[in-house]
Chain A
Amino acid sequence: MYRYDEIDARIVRERVEQFRDQTRRFLAGELSEDEFRPLRLMNGLYIQRLAPMLRVAVPYGHLSSRQLRKLAEIARKYDKGYGHFTTRQNLQYNWPALEDVPEILSELAEVEMHAIQTSGNCVRNTTTDAFAGVAADEIIDPRPYCEIIRQWSTLHPEFAFLPRKFKIAVSGSEQDRAATWVHDIGLHVVKTDAGEVGFKVIVGGGLGRTPMIGEVIRDFLPTAHLLTYLDAVLRVYNRYGRRDNKYKARIKILVKAMTREAFAAKVEEEWIHLKDGPATLRAADVEHYASFFTDPAYETLEANPAEFTAKLAEDKAFARWVERNTRGHKQAGYRSVVLSLKKTGVPPGDATDAQMDAVADWADQFGFGEIRVSHEQNLVLPDVRERDLFDLWQLAKAAGFATPNVGLLTDIICCPGGDFCSLANAKSIPVAEAIQQRFDDFDYLHDIGDIELNMSGCMNACGHHHIGHIGILGVDKSGEEWYQVTLGGSQGSGASIGKVIGPSFARAQMPDVIEKILSVYVDTRTEEERFLDTVRRIGIIPFKERVYAKHN
């Protein structure tokens, strides 16, 4: 993984000192609330309902065991002993004291971490596939480019005050596991028949109040031009994006207003002046960054060793966990393990300090000291020998990490909602919990199969409800919390925005509503169909009829 050199370390330290001084001036009354707000947001600090919230950047979801132990230590020392992993692959602390934040940042800097640009109207943490570098279907490892983008976007002097937040995702695989179609910029690695590597550039996707699937503005951008082209897109957005209405300020609104063709032409016009300039990546530049992401010292192993297959045969629960919570690996004899943070009764994405320490230990013991945060809010151990899976499973089970529900109904993507967030219209965690409690029968869950249920407590869509196969959105109706349901959203290559099925529901109705939706699926599915396929085939009407039927 990437390691800081002296300059990276210095820049982060200087940012800590700058923020320390900003905090000091705010507390001394030299900066007003309005002046401090944009400055603290650019460093991930919110003032929340109960306490400040600090969002720590986990660049493209990559953590070392040392970094994860530091996150655990901070949770113990400055917070209430837990943290929340987010859909941007970051970590949030819900209870730090404002006065402690500079010190927390200083501790993070010791392990090459920071909170730079984790909020505010600037370029946010770049995200990618949690299985980058190990996925069996990878075209090119996206991580060197993620790091190049991280550095380019960090404290970029021209783009610190954009019209609105700006999110970039990179996918290096055939299958898009980075939700690139719903980002401000999505980059898909493309390899031509001649072997040339570049990016398909998607712009103007996004969730929030006006969900949209992005538009392709360039089918093939040679990798050398990545940064000059990003500069061109951002400059067009910075100059022409709306600033009069924050709900219309995202780049998607600009692309829509200008049309894809006109926006793309404007970017090209800008790019002519920047193309081939000093920010052009030479082969040696890319090699420098790629040198941090080489394969670890894999052993030469046979796939499916006898001891592993024997355990699979004799232990049904283990087999189920392997089926749901592990993924194929490019290296024979290894698998990637998803540690589920979706245990019933625990807010989705939350992990305690002890759990973080345990995961760090397993990363050292069973892997190469690396952990990934997935945008589905789980943790991933990328490289585990198949022969070690049984031992790891037993440890994970004991620590509450082995719920075999990855990709199933109860693997809910969920924002912190009204329990913590001052923007939320409604609580989300209790709804997730009620659904997890209702559907606690694993045989039923496995029968339902692959399904994505995403929930947000407000229009800002941190829980990505629009791209959930089932989406739940908390809404406020004259001071009461209600929940709107969408069906048919999806991430990935055939990304789509879910459709609202009708009037919203009270919280207590939600488990019943989900049950009725699932019953339509069970009654009408063909043998091969996943839930999403059925929704796409039959449309939302049959679901709507069953859910809103009177006294059936």
Chain B
Amino acid sequence: MQNIIKDGAVLAADAWQLVRPDAEGQLSVPDAGDVIVPLSAWLAEPERWASRDGRVAVWLASGDEPAELAASLGKLELVAVDFHAFTDGRGYSIGRLLRERYGFAGELRAIGDVWEDHLHYLWQVGFNAFEIKDGKAVEGALAALGSFTDRYQATYREPQPLFRRHRS
């Protein structure tokens, strides 16, 4: 079953393969196809990725520093941010920084412990794609994007806070 929501619709197909280190910390990257590799691997072997067949994207762990990816963002179609637990909110700040400070305009995908109850927040801070965790309903997640029809804060989606839009 396809479990990726992008720009408010369930993707029919997704070519990206997520590469996570194994239990020993080793990465095995498939020879062909489109891959999402960890930030550390991306930074360590630039020649390898430049000469590889297939597209390469990068994923950040919640403790990673998005500034380290700033210089590469123009080359990347997709950046993913991993939520190893949905209660670890560092990825929300990373999302805003990638969008607002470093100007990333490509696909920003939330991966890991991601399901419907966080999607409206993730969307607000700049994520436009969500890989819904196994076992969680994709339909419910789609609907949850519209849980709130307005918000108080200045966000990536709505840079004007509510008080500037309506109240003075």
Interface residues of A in 138-160 (CB under 8 A from B): 148, 151-152, 154-160
B45 at the interface (CB under 8 A from A): no
**Within the complex, which residue of A15, A151, A161, A162 is in contact with B162, where a contact is CB–CB below 8 Å?**
A151
Contact between chains at A158 and B166 (CB < 8 Å): no
Interchain CA distance A97-B123 in the complex, whole Å: 33
B161 at the interface (CB under 8 A from A): yes
Contact between chains at B168 and A160 (CB < 8 Å): no
A493 at the interface (CB under 8 A from B): no
Contact between chains at B154 and A14 (CB < 8 Å): no
Contact between chains at B93 and A239 (CB < 8 Å): yes
Interface locus among A282-290, A311-319, A422-430, A462-470? A282-290
B163 cross-chain contacts in A, Cβ below 8 A: 148, 151, 281, 285, 288-289
- Given A39-B117, A121-B87, the answer on whether A278 and B164 have CB atoms closer than 8 Å is yes
Q: Of all chain A residues, which has the CB nearest B122? A: A157
Interchain CA distance A495-B125 in the complex, whole Å: 38
Interface locus among B8-16, B23-31, B144-152? B144-152
- Given A157-B151, A158-B93, A159-B92, the answer on whether A288 and B167 have CB atoms closer than 8 Å is yes
Contact between chains at A151 and B152 (CB < 8 Å): yes
Most chain A C-beta atoms within 10 Å of own C-beta, residue among B94, B153, B160? B153
A18 at the interface (CB under 8 A from B): yes
Q: Of all chain A residues, which has the CB nearest B135? A: A30
**Within the complex, which residue of B93, B117, B147 is in contact with A235, where a contact is CB–CB below 8 Å?**
B93
A281 cross-chain contacts in B, Cβ below 8 A: 163
A542 at the interface (CB under 8 A from B): no
A10 at the interface (CB under 8 A from B): yes
Interface residues of A in 214-240 (CB under 8 A from B): 227, 235, 238-239
Main SS at interface, chain B: loop
A279 at the interface (CB under 8 A from B): yes
Interchain CA distance A281-B166 in the complex, whole Å: 14
B128 at the interface (CB under 8 A from A): no
Min C-beta distance of B90 to chain A, whole Å: 6
Min C-beta distance of B59 to chain A, whole Å: 17
- Given A273-B101, A278-B159, the answer on whether A158 and B150 have CB atoms closer than 8 Å is no
B124 at the interface (CB under 8 A from A): yes
Interchain CA distance A18-B121 in the complex, whole Å: 13
A7 at the interface (CB under 8 A from B): yes
A80 at the interface (CB under 8 A from B): no
Contact between chains at A279 and B121 (CB < 8 Å): no
Contact between chains at A161 and B88 (CB < 8 Å): yes
Q: Mark A15-49, 1 if CB is under 8 A from B, else 0.
A: 10110001000000010000100110000000000
Contact between chains at A282 and B168 (CB < 8 Å): yes
Interface residues of A in 281-301 (CB under 8 A from B): 281-282, 284-285, 287-289
B89 at the interface (CB under 8 A from A): yes
Interchain CA distance A22-B159 in the complex, whole Å: 29
Contact between chains at B151 and A155 (CB < 8 Å): yes
Interchain CA distance A11-B166 in the complex, whole Å: 14
A243 at the interface (CB under 8 A from B): yes
Q: Of all chain A residues, which has the CB nearest B83? A: A161
Interchain CA distance A305-B159 in the complex, whole Å: 55
A277 at the interface (CB under 8 A from B): yes
B122 cross-chain contacts in A, Cβ below 8 A: 157
- Given A159-B89, A160-B92, the answer on whether A154 and B101 have CB atoms closer than 8 Å is no
- Given A151-B163, A279-B154, the answer on whether A238 and B168 have CB atoms closer than 8 Å is no
A-B contact count (CB 8 A): 105
Interchain CA distance A67-B149 in the complex, whole Å: 26
Min C-beta distance of A4 to chain B, whole Å: 12
Min C-beta distance of B83 to chain A, whole Å: 9
Min C-beta distance of A292 to chain B, whole Å: 11
Min C-beta distance of A40 to chain B, whole Å: 11
Contact between chains at B154 and A11 (CB < 8 Å): no
Contact between chains at B92 and A158 (CB < 8 Å): yes
Contact between chains at A11 and B151 (CB < 8 Å): yes
Min C-beta distance of A25 to chain B, whole Å: 8
B120 at the interface (CB under 8 A from A): yes
A161 cross-chain contacts in B, Cβ below 8 A: 86-89, 92
Contact between chains at A238 and B90 (CB < 8 Å): yes
Contact between chains at B150 and A154 (CB < 8 Å): no
**Within the complex, which residue of B96, B147, B149, B159 is in contact with A158, where a contact is CB–CB below 8 Å?**
B96
- Given A278-B159, A278-B161, the answer on whether A157 and B93 have CB atoms closer than 8 Å is no
Interchain CA distance A4-B68 in the complex, whole Å: 43
Contact between chains at B89 and A278 (CB < 8 Å): no
**Within the complex, which residue of A18, A156, A227 is in contact with B147, where a contact is CB–CB below 8 Å?**
A18
Contact between chains at B92 and A278 (CB < 8 Å): no
**Within the complex, which residue of B92, B94, B117, B152 is in contact with A155, where a contact is CB–CB below 8 Å?**
B152
Interchain CA distance A121-B166 in the complex, whole Å: 30
Min C-beta distance of B68 to chain A, whole Å: 14
Q: Of all chain A residues, which has the CB nearest B123? A: A157
Interface residues of A in 440-467 (CB under 8 A from B): none
Contact between chains at B149 and A14 (CB < 8 Å): yes
Contact between chains at A243 and B162 (CB < 8 Å): no
Min C-beta distance of B62 to chain A, whole Å: 8
Interchain CA distance A243-B83 in the complex, whole Å: 13
**Within the complex, which residue of B87, B117, B150, B167 is in contact with A22, where a contact is CB–CB below 8 Å?**
B117
Q: Of all chain B residues, which has the CB nearest A163? A: B89
Interchain CA distance A154-B163 in the complex, whole Å: 13
Jot down 28 A-B pairs with beta carbons below 8 A, ordered by A.
A10-B150, A14-B147, A14-B149, A18-B148, A39-B117, A121-B87, A148-B163, A151-B162, A151-B163, A155-B148, A157-B122, A157-B155, A158-B92, A158-B121, A160-B118, A235-B93, A238-B90, A238-B93, A239-B90, A243-B88, A243-B90, A277-B154, A278-B159, A278-B160, A279-B153, A285-B168, A288-B163, A289-B163
Residues of chain A touching chain B, judged by Cβ–Cβ distance below 8 Å, are 5, 7, 10-11, 14-15, 17-18, 22, 30, 35, 38-39, 121, 148, 151-152, 154-162, 227, 235, 238-239, 243, 273, 277-279, 281-282, 284-285, 287-289
Task: List the 10 closest A-B pairs by CB distance, nearest first.
Answer: A161-B89, A157-B124, A284-B168, A157-B121, A151-B152, A279-B154, A158-B92, A278-B154, A288-B168, A288-B167
